[in-house]
Amino acid sequence: MLHLAVAALLLAIATPARAQAIDSTRLMSDLRVLSADSMEGRRIGTPGNARARAFIENAIRRIGLRPVKDSLSAPFIAKSRAGTDLHGVNIVSMLRGRMHPDRYIVISAHYDHLGVRNGVTYSGADDNASGSAAVLAIAQWYKYHPPENSMLFVWFDGEESGLVGAKAFVGHPPVPIEKIVANVNLDMVSRNATGELYASGASPYPVMKPLLDSLAATARVKLILGHDTGTGQSNWIQQSDQGAFHLKKIPFVYFGVEDHPDYHKPTDKFERIEPGFYYRCVQTINEFVRLLDLALDRVVLVRVAGLKGKE
Ligand SMILES: [Zn+2]
């Protein structure tokens, strides 16, 4: 047994410290903080929203990602549905790609939620503290496993007010819009009674289908492709921030679960998260990002064709 121990020791010395897996402990503790009462439901323009943003930005600095320009905060002003001004702040960080630093994949989640209504806090644990914590975990993983292409890790504000943060982002992108090749958006990824996670986007962007099919074959959740066709509520394309990317013809995949009884209710709480399912979802999405990064040449062709079609 001794030689095995020696071999293990030599391997440990030869291999730089690497996080081999998504950090499940950190994932759950980040979700707990972001959905705590102190965040007051994270509504755009509120102190609770600013506290959530400060937490995410501290985590980004701990991970060691940098801003695209001088600040992680990207403020914007947008109109609310009622016509008033909304002051929002997106959070934008970057990890440079090893092979193609000038091509970008945007990994995103909205961090805002509904706030406090009639004295009741809407915690939005699943919607979307879960996606926000997941993007932090994925960013951490890529810091240890540098990607081929550059990645923008983005937390959008104002999704609940009509995707206003994502629309501001694609309207005034931090890098040239034609260099943004794909978006992977996470919104509600931490609970489902039957263990199902949806992936939307392969219908409008068939280039994503082989990647999702091979992912589904090995995923530790029931990965179902759909919710991306038709005109009714069952088409989710415009129901979260990927909708803003789709309007710019940027190929996307959205990951999320079916609505549950606590959707947009004060009962969307940390206690109702399913840790095992959540962790497997994040692993699955992380693996998708890895496959996408390795296959991005194919997606670039679709992106270029989309750009030409616009002229
Ligand atoms: Zn949401």
Mean pLDDT for the chain overall:
94
Distance, CA 110 to ligand 1 centroid (Å)? 7
User: What six digits make up the tokens of 106?
Assistant: 């945007």
- Domains contained in the chain, number: 1
The answer to whether residue 4 is domain-embedded is no
The answer to whether residue 105 is domain-embedded is yes
The answer to whether residue 22 is domain-embedded is no
Distance, CA 58 to ligand 1 centroid (Å)? 22
Task: List b or e across 11-28, with b for residues whose CB sees 16 or more CB atoms inside 10 angstroms.
Answer: eeeeeeeeeeebbeebbb
Q: For residue 65, which of 177, 183, 151 has the smallest C-alpha distance?
A: 151
The answer to whether residue 171 is domain-embedded is yes
pLDDT for the residue 236: 97
The answer to whether residue 291 is domain-embedded is yes
For 100-134, write each residue's pLDDT tens digit. Answer: 999 999 999 999 999 999 999 999 999 999 999 99
The answer to whether residue 9 is domain-embedded is no
For 15-59, write each residue's pLDDT tens digit. Answer: 444 446 899 999 999 999 999 999 999 999 999 999 999 999 999
What CATH number does the domain containing 225 carry? 3.40.630.10
Model's pTM, two decimal places?
Answer: 0.93
User: What six digits make up the tokens of 78?
Assistant: 């947008």
CB atoms within 10 A of CB 285: 28
The residue-averaged pLDDT of 240-253 equals 98
For 143-188, write each residue's pLDDT tens digit. Answer: 999 999 999 999 999 999 999 999 999 999 999 999 999 999 999 9
Distance, CA 264 to ligand 1 centroid (Å)? 9
The answer to whether residue 168 is domain-embedded is yes
Distance, CA 263 to ligand 1 centroid (Å)? 9
The answer to whether residue 205 is domain-embedded is yes
Q: Which amino acid is located at 274 in the chain? A: E
The residue-averaged pLDDT of 60-75 equals 96
pLDDT for the residue 8: 55
Q: 212 lies in which domain range?
A: 29-310
pLDDT-derived band at 77 (thresholds 50, 70, 90) equals very high
Distance, CA 237 to ligand 1 centroid (Å)? 13
The helix (H) or strand (E) run that includes residue 49 is helix 47-63
Distance, CA 178 to ligand 1 centroid (Å)? 26
Distance, CA 180 to ligand 1 centroid (Å)? 23
What length does the chain have? 311
Distance, CA 101 to ligand 1 centroid (Å)? 30
